[in-house]
Amino acid sequence: MVRVIAVSNPRLAQAFVDYMATQGVILEVHNAGEATEIWLAEDGRLEQVQHELQQFLLDPLNQRYQAASWQAGSTNTGLHYQQFSYLQTIRNKAGPLTLTVMALSIVVYILMQVLGGNTVMFWLSWPQNGSQYSQLWRWVSHALLHFSLLHITFNLLWWWYLGGPLEKRLGAGKLFVITVVSAFFSGWAQSLFSGALFGGLSGVVYALMGYVWLSGERAPESGLSLPRGLMVFSVLWLVAGYFDILGMSIANAAHIAGLVLGLLMAFWDTRHHTYNKQ
């Protein structure tokens, strides 16, 4: 058996194999890492195959090769195309903490639909009185509460987009600190304006926006970045919330507190170089 050629495009390789089948020559294809190899079993027909291959490489999209695939093609080719998976993409660009927070938020949202929002808020909301101050989870668990599908989708997309790379680059410990600190302070700021009945991950998201953007501006070697256009959009979205032009209740105080806190933490870390150089 003789190896005829190795190509990077498995579909083109199969097109040539199909065409040669119509000429009475049987070729085999094998995956070899990132390349696809074409093999010939009958050594005596190598000269014919090489001649046809030269013609094929000059015009691989010629109609006769496409027609040959319809005529001689088979679904049992042995080629395996990489399949796109949304879940795999999410896992590849996020660490354990990022995925855990996403999973918890989704579970809490489902519970709110099944048991009722008031019931779940009774368990997880910001402390409503002195008797709840000792229930330490309440100081951060309000970030897991979301009140609509749009609300949770918007927040989790931003959380994954910002938190995933940060965790991959700086570690789960840094993301944990930013999350807990920003959840507490953004919640405290919002409670001063609206009381204890609020929720959402957006205060943490704005902290991540500030942290990732300023880290990228001041220390590009940190490996973090947020396009300036997205940062401008986020600030405009924050400002729009104060004019009630969006027709929805927005935790403006939490957003501002989170953004300011994220900027301050990034300024501190880039000034003192506390990020991990990996």
Residues that are catalytic: 202, 255
Three-state SS at 131: helix
Q: What size, in residues, is the chain?
A: 278
Confirm if 176 and 97 have CB atoms less than 8 A apart: yes
Sign of CA dihedral 54, 60, 63, 69: positive
Rounded to the nearest 10 degrees, what angle do helices 10-22 and 63-72 cross at?
80
CB count in 10 Å sphere of residue 64:
11
Distance (Å, whole) CA 197 – CA 117:
11
The tokens 């910001």 sit on which residue? 126
Helix segments in the chain, DSSP class H: 10-22, 46-58, 63-72, 86-92, 96-115, 117-124, 138-141, 149-170, 172-194, 202-218, 228-242, 252-272
